[in-house]
Amino acid sequence: MDRTAGLPTSVRPCRIIVKAQEMYTCESCTQVYALLLLTFGRTTDDLMRLKFVGYDRVCNLHPFLSNLSKKGNVGAKILLDHVKFLVDIFHVMKHKE
């Protein structure tokens, strides 16, 4: 049986779907980062216009981006400097940190 690992979707606040990208293996921070770059990262100016990223596993994505930024990745640094990361309250409540 063929399965996917999810369908991350970029949606504007007005509910317009900007992009959907099916994941065929595990849902990874690398795939989510690639989706952000493919959707919003044509130029560094385009990437800087992104204001919010809501993601149920942002608790994993943020450290992943921090690590990339420390290694000199410009896209990760721009996201960390210009984007507010949001996670739903039901996911956060399960964390002990």
What pLDDT score does 2 carry? 65
Convert 45-80 to b/e letters by CB count within 10 Å (16 or more is b): eebeebeebebeebeebbebbeebbeeeeebbbbbe
DSSP code for 10: E
- 14's tokens: 């007005």
pLDDT value for 72: 96
Could you give the angle at the alpha carbon of 64 between the alpha carbons of 44 and 56, nearest 5°? 95
Q: Give the span between the Cα atoms of 19 and 17, in whole angstroms.
A: 6
pTM over 0.85: no
The pLDDT assigned to 1 comes to 47
